[in-house]
Amino acid sequence: MPSPSNAAFQNIPDVSFIDEKQVDDVRREMVADFEAFMTEAGGVPFALPRSSERRMEINAAAAQIYQAMQYVDRAGKQSLLKYSYDEFLDNLGTLKGVTRAAPKAATTTLRFTLSAAHTAAVGIPTGTRASAGAIFFQTTEYAEIQPGELFVDAPAQCTITGTDGNGLDAGELSNLVDPIPRVKSVSNITETAGGAERESNNDFAERIHLAPSGYSVAGPGDAYIYHAKKYSTAVGDVVATSDQAGGTVDIVFLMADGATPGPEMISGLEERLRDGNIRPMTDLVTVSAPGEIPYTINLAYYINRSSSAQAVAIQTAVKNAVLEFQAWQRTIGRDINPSKLINMIMAAGAKRLEITAPTFQAVDPTKVSALSGEAVVTYGGLEDD
């Protein structure tokens, strides 16, 4: 059973529907019950020998009984949002009218350019494809290059769902798969973004948790967060703030992988949150990427000489710890905290660190930290314990 990892449920107490029993507890209880029954039946104290065939039978039965108890425990926990997963979680979601988000295709804007201006309009059919290697995007609506104009921009989305279509820089989609007379070239003018896999258990559980906030027109911050996450599983961290006197609601968000959202994601989410069925008439909703606070990583670490046999594995673990810290740090409003980095590297097996950056820095609740340059991580070698 997956361990509860969603931050929204960390403060909710753990429960056990079998009183935390382990298989050894079941075996001891069954042996004790058998000895008590035999003592009562025979009228004299009875102790079951450790090598007794009966004890082996009881141990085997206890293993099967404990397995059945595990099913009972799991069945109980699947009715609780903290523990539920997969199909069980889908069924919990229906109780609040929430369904798991399907995979979504990445989007971008394609620019189609003529070799020369013409006196007649040039149509760009819906479904016209452009590619970068094995990744294909196609236009989602009809567009025309007007007489006398040289280009037109058209929205496009990846032909496959998921994250594979994300992260293509402007200009990478330069191969026109479906040639159009007089069209010289095609190119994406924005980075591709917004592709998402099927909504994860953690994200779906959080959205179910927020669902009551979305039953009415948005107003509380949680309601806007709920609707933002409902818009796409590609939406990650979301913060909503409000200037009540000015009647404005400001939404800042990151992509699920911590990346800065592109213009299509920002405009799409803003349009969604401005829907009259979500936004109160008195709210002016604006959506943007959070401001970024730069920081650097520069450190040296050492390994105990007694751990020399594991030195290579520890070095790999330290590299992974630095990457995990960067991902952990990429949360809106989270202070830049070198203590967390030290803790993660020590847990990876380092003996000690000499760290010059980052230094602690408070981060505004609507901003996010951003690593400047590459992390400089130096292995200083082995040291005596």
Angle at 224 between CA 219 and CA 228, to 5 degrees: 160
Query: Residue 132: its pLDDT value, please?
Result: 95
Answer yes or no: is pLDDT of 298 > 50. yes
Tell me the C-alpha distance between 279 and 301, whole Å.
Answer: 51
Quick one: average pLDDT of 303-315?
95
Quote the percentage of the chain above a pLDDT of 90. 74
Question: By CB neighbour count within 10 A (0-12 exposed, 13-18 middle, 19+ buried), where does 82 fall?
Answer: middle
Tell me the C-alpha distance between 83 and 10, whole Å.
Answer: 11
- SS3 letters across 244-259: CCCCEEEEEEEECCCC
Average pLDDT, the chain: 91
pLDDT in tens, 170-184: 999 999 999 999 999
User: Two tokens at 190?
Assistant: 């924005």
Quick one: average pLDDT of 206-227?
72
Query: Residue 11: its pLDDT value, please?
Result: 79
Query: Residue 2: its pLDDT value, please?
Result: 45
Number of alpha carbons in the 13 Å side-chain half-sphere of residue 98? 27
Query: Residue 222: its pLDDT value, please?
Result: 79
Answer yes or no: is pLDDT of 257 > 60. yes
Quick one: average pLDDT of 209-227?
69
Q: What is the CA radius of gyration of the chain?
A: 29
Answer yes or no: is pLDDT of 244 > 90. no
Quick one: average pLDDT of 284-296?
94
pLDDT in tens, 188-205: 999 999 899 988 898 899
Q: Where are the chain's structural domains?
A: 10-81, 105-188, 201-289, 293-383
Helices (H), 283-379: 311-329, 338-347
Query: Residue 226: its pLDDT value, please?
Result: 85
Maximum average pLDDT range among 54-63, 217-226, 270-279: 54-63
Query: Residue 1: its pLDDT value, please?
Result: 47
Confidence band, pLDDT 50/70/90 cuts, at residue 5: low
Quick one: average pLDDT of 352-373?
96
Query: Residue 39: its pLDDT value, please?
Result: 94
Query: Residue 284: its pLDDT value, please?
Result: 86
Confidence band, pLDDT 50/70/90 cuts, at residue 211: confident
- Share of the chain residues as helix, strand and coil, in percent rounded to the nearest 5: 35, 25, 40
- Measured torsion, CA atoms of residues 145, 146, 151, 155, in degrees rounded to the nearest 10: -50
Answer yes or no: is pLDDT of 277 > 60. yes
Residue pair 214/226 in contact by the 8 Å Cβ criterion: yes
Residue pair 183/154 in contact by the 8 Å Cβ criterion: no
* CA 268, 274, 276, 278 torsion-angle sign: positive
Query: Residue 283: its pLDDT value, please?
Result: 75
The candidate with the shortest Cα–Cα distance to 167, out of 186, 140, 194, is 194
Residue pair 332/254 in contact by the 8 Å Cβ criterion: yes
Is pTM, for the whole model, over 0.75? no
Crossing angle of helices 221-231 and 201-210, in 10° steps, is 140
Beta strands in the chain, from DSSP E residues, in sequence order: 105-114, 122-124, 129-132, 135-139, 143-145, 151-161, 175-176, 183-188, 235-243, 248-255, 284-288, 291-295, 298-304, 352-357, 367-371, 376-383
pLDDT in tens, 31-46: 999 999 999 999 999 9
Answer yes or no: is pLDDT of 4 > 90. no
Strands 151-161 and 105-114: antiparallel
Query: Residue 297: its pLDDT value, please?
Result: 98
pLDDT in tens, 93-126: 988 888 898 899 999 999 999 999 989 999 999 9
Residue type, 149: E
Answer yes or no: is pLDDT of 79 > 60. yes
